[in-house]
């Protein structure tokens, strides 16, 4: 302002000197030249100011176009309404700028998928209308400024697997907040799908997990194409301490067959495949039985009442899943067995006995009692754009069981994979395709150590003595480490599940809710990078983590 005053003062002085000059020609020529000279000199101030305003208007228009592109609308009138409202709000701080709404519009280019916008504003002149009123009025005291913007609605195809912890520790606020956050994410991606010019631009799968995963609704004893009756492998076949020490049964009878003998059906849950297929998306093949999937089947526990004086089996941990009569003699003696080895032998003779599965169950079999005990999860929702079904499934999730993050994650990967068991995912490497997995958990991997000869509770890894973790015993810490290592090994170049997924260009997000430092390190390491890892200190923070992930997935950008 001081410079302007000095300039004006100098011009006035200069003008006075020339007006006093009686040499007529000079005065006349200068009088004619002075207005254009002042217009050019002082108008430059306005022109420079318009240039600055234009940059502000461009920023405001870019933000408004982004808002219009993020809306769920595909018709131009509503896209225009959203854009205009946002632009007017963005320009509100600039009191000397007037938006010309008749020459401002937002519209969708259906050929490119971009929301395009053009805006015109008028900037009030500061110099010309003060010092050169005729010239300022010629421009109506306003100088025009234009801006153009485009926001490309993402034309990537996106496949997202939501892998969500449904274990008992999630009960209460954590599960409630997780449901809300997951539904909000689904809603945002549904809106993004609606904005896309691509068919089936976004598909989502849902994998609730605990100590197992329910891959189907169940209700059948006919094995799906990707499953085996498990009469020869993974806990099947006839037990033999030398040749087959890891079988759950003493006779080669398949698990679907045993469900039928009990006059009940498979509940839809599965066990993990044996190593190395537990961390690979290798397609199941009957020619390689270890690649086939095996039904979850919780064996009947030994009869408690057969030994009244030793009803707790010498204080061994007893889970209470005793749904069949063992069909073996008991004893009322104080010491029915000579020693611990004899008791253990008798215990396993009952656990492995297949013949008892032809008897009548003690009570009604359900997910709390019988071979499907613990299979009470919401079933997987395969990759789909049926967002209503996804929301319903999320709302139906319950909290139950222990934590097996590798098994849940593996089935999240299966839903994205182009390979069987589902084959719903597009081929790896497809142009403009993003495969994303979101893993949310609040706990540590666990395969509980018990005091009974089973040495563990039954879960998606069977019993510990079945060697699914490469060990047949060990304390809780040892078992957790084994499970963690299958998920993401601390040693570089060691095969693990997270590394295998990343090798397929799957983008990995992890959300760690109130977990210990070991689990934090594990989940941070599994994520694609630190920006894909979200540590959450309380149930209240779950929504914010999912919100940030949803924003990243929407992947909108200003193109120019």
- Condensed to tens digits (0 to 9), the pLDDT of residues 426-463 reads 999 999 899 999 999 999 999 999 999 999 999 999 99
132 band by pLDDT with thresholds 50, 70 and 90: very low
96 band by pLDDT with thresholds 50, 70 and 90: confident
Run of H or E including 195: helix 173-195
Same domain, 496 and 414: yes
Q: Per the domain annotation, does 270 fall within a domain? A: no
Run of H or E including 557: strand 557-558
Two tokens, residue 536: 């959450």
Q: Per the domain annotation, does 19 fall within a domain? A: yes
Same domain, 336 and 193: no
Query: Which of 245, 261, 252, 257 lies closest to 231, judged by CA?
Result: 252
Read off the pLDDT of each residue in 303-310 and give the average, rounded to a whole number.
86
Same domain, 364 and 375: no
Same domain, 396 and 366: no
pLDDT for res 38: 56
Among 24-28, 83-87, 379-383, name the one with the lowest average pLDDT.
Answer: 24-28
Q: Is 25 exposed, middle or buried (0-12, 13-18, 19+ CB in 10 A)?
A: exposed
* Counted domains in the chain: 3
pLDDT exceeds cutoff 90 at 297:
yes
Same domain, 386 and 444: yes
pLDDT for res 13: 65
1 band by pLDDT with thresholds 50, 70 and 90: very low
- Predicted confidence (pLDDT) per residue in 502-521, tens digit: 999 999 999 999 999 999 99
Two tokens, residue 231: 């009469």
The reported pTM is 0.81
Among 23-32, 101-110, 171-180, 548-557, name the one with the lowest average pLDDT.
Answer: 23-32
Query: Which is higher by pLDDT, 9 or 377?
Result: 377
- In a 13 Å sphere around the CA of 426, the CA atoms on its Cβ side amount to 21
pLDDT for res 237: 87
Cα Rg of the chain, angstroms? 36
pLDDT exceeds cutoff 90 at 27:
no
Question: Of the candidates 370, 387, 405, which is a domain's last residue?
Answer: 370
Same domain, 382 and 331: no
Question: Of the candidates 152, 167, 185, which is a domain's last residue?
Answer: 152
Read off the pLDDT of each residue in 191-210 and give the average, rounded to a whole number.
89
Read off the pLDDT of each residue in 541-558 and give the average, rounded to a whole number.
84
Same domain, 391 and 538: yes
Q: Per the domain annotation, does 249 fall within a domain? A: no
Domain range for 109 is: 2-152
Q: Per the domain annotation, does 239 fall within a domain? A: no
pLDDT for res 41: 54
Same domain, 392 and 534: yes
The CATH number covering residue 386 comes to 3.40.50.410
- Predicted confidence (pLDDT) per residue in 479-501, tens digit: 999 999 999 999 999 999 999 99
pLDDT for res 249: 94
487, 493 contact by CB (below 8 A): no
Same domain, 203 and 338: no
Q: Per the domain annotation, does 260 fall within a domain? A: no
Q: Per the domain annotation, does 197 fall within a domain? A: yes
Read off the pLDDT of each residue in 155-164 and give the average, rounded to a whole number.
92
Q: Per the domain annotation, does 187 fall within a domain? A: yes
Instruction: Tell how far CA 274 is from the center of its chain.
Output: 26
Two tokens, residue 5: 């005053």
Read off the pLDDT of each residue in 327-351 and give the average, rounded to a whole number.
88
Same domain, 97 and 137: yes
Question: Of the candidates 346, 370, 394, which is a domain's last residue?
Answer: 370
Q: Per the domain annotation, does 275 fall within a domain? A: no
Contacts for 167 with CB less than 8 Å, ≥ 6 apart? 210, 211, 399, 400, 401, 402, 403, 441, 442, 443
51 band by pLDDT with thresholds 50, 70 and 90: confident
Same domain, 323 and 462: no
Rounded CA-CA distance 321/167 in Å is 19
Share of the chain above pLDDT 70, in %: 87
Kindly list the distances between the CA atom of residue 542 and the CA atoms of 51, 183, 491, 546, 547, in Å, as whole numbers in the listed order: 45, 12, 30, 6, 9
Same domain, 393 and 512: yes
Rounded CA-CA distance 458/229 in Å is 19
Q: Which residues are registered as beta bridge partners of 16?
A: none
Two tokens, residue 206: 């849902």
* Mean predicted lDDT score pLDDT of the chain: 88
Read off the pLDDT of each residue in 524-546 and give the average, rounded to a whole number.
97
Instruction: Tell how far CA 298 is from the center of its chain.
Output: 30
Read off the pLDDT of each residue in 23-43 and give the average, rounded to a whole number.
56
40 band by pLDDT with thresholds 50, 70 and 90: low
pLDDT for res 49: 65
């Amino acid at each position: 302002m001081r410079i302007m005053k000095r300039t004006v003062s100098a011009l006035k002085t200069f003008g006075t000197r020339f007006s006093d000059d009686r040499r007529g020609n000079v005065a006349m020529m200068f009088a004619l030249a002075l207005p254009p000279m002042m217009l050019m000199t002082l108008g430059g101030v306005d022109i420079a100011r318009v240039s600055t305003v234009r940059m502000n208007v461009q920023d405001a228009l870019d933000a408004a176009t982004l808002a219009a592109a993020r809306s769920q609308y595909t018709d131009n009138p509503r896209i225009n309404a959203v854009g205009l409202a946002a632009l007017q709000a963005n320009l509100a701080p600039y009191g000397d700028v007037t938006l010309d709404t008749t020459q401002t519009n937002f519209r969708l280019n259906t050929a490119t998928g971009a929301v395009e916008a053009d805006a015109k504003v008028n900037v009030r002149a500061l110099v010309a209308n003060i010092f050169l009123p005729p010239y300022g009025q010629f421009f109506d005291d306003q100088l025009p400024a234009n801006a153009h913007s485009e926001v490309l609605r993402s034309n990537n195809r996106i496949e997202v697997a939501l892998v969500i912890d449904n274990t008992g520790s999630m009960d209460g606020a954590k599960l409630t907040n997780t449901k809300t956050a997951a539904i909000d994410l689904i809603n945002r991606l549904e809106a993004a799908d609606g904005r896309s010019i691509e068919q089936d631009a976004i598909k989502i799968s849902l994998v609730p997990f605990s100590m197992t995963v329910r891959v189907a609704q169940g209700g059948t004893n006919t094995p799906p194409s990707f499953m085996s009756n498990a009469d020869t492998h993974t806990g099947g076949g006839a037990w033999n301490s030398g040749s087959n020490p890891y079988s759950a049964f003493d006779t080669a009878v398949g698990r679907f067959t045993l469900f039928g003998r009990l006059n009940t059906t498979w509940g839809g849950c599965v066990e993990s495949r044996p190593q190395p297929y537990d961390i690979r998306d290798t397609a199941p093949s009957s020619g390689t039985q270890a690649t086939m999937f095996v039904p979850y089947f919780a064996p009947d526990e030994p009869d408690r009442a057969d030994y009244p004086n030793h009803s707790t089996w010498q204080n061994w941990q007893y889970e209470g899943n005793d749904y069949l009569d063992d069909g073996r003699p008991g004893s009322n003696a104080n010491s029915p067995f000579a020693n611990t080895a004899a008791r253990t032998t008798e215990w396993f003779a009952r656990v492995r006995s297949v013949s008892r599965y032809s008897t009548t169950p003690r009570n009604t079999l359900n997910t709390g009692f019988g071979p499907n005990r613990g299979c009470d999860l919401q079933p997987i929702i395969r990759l789909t754009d049926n967002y209503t079904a996804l929301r319903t499934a999320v709302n139906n999730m319950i909290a139950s069981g222990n934590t097996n993050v590798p098994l849940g994650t593996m089935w999240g990967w299966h839903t994205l994979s182009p390979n069987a068991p589902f084959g719903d995912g597009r081929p790896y490497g497809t142009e403009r395709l993003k495969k994303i997995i979101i893993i949310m958990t609040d706990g540590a991997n666990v395969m509980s150590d018990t005091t009974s000869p089973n040495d563990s509770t039954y879960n998606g890894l069977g019993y510990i003595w079945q060697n699914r973790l490469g060990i047949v015993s060990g304390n809780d810490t040892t078992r957790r480490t084994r499970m963690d290592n299958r998920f993401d090994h601390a040693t570089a170049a060691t095969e693990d599940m997270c590394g295998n997924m990343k090798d397929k260009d799957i983008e990995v997000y992890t959300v760690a809710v109130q977990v210990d430092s070991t689990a934090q390190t594990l989940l941070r390491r599994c994520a694609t990078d630190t920006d894909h890892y979200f540590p959450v200190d309380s149930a209240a923070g779950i929504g914010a983590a999912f919100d940030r992930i949803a924003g990243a997935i929407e992947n909108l950008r200003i193109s120019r």
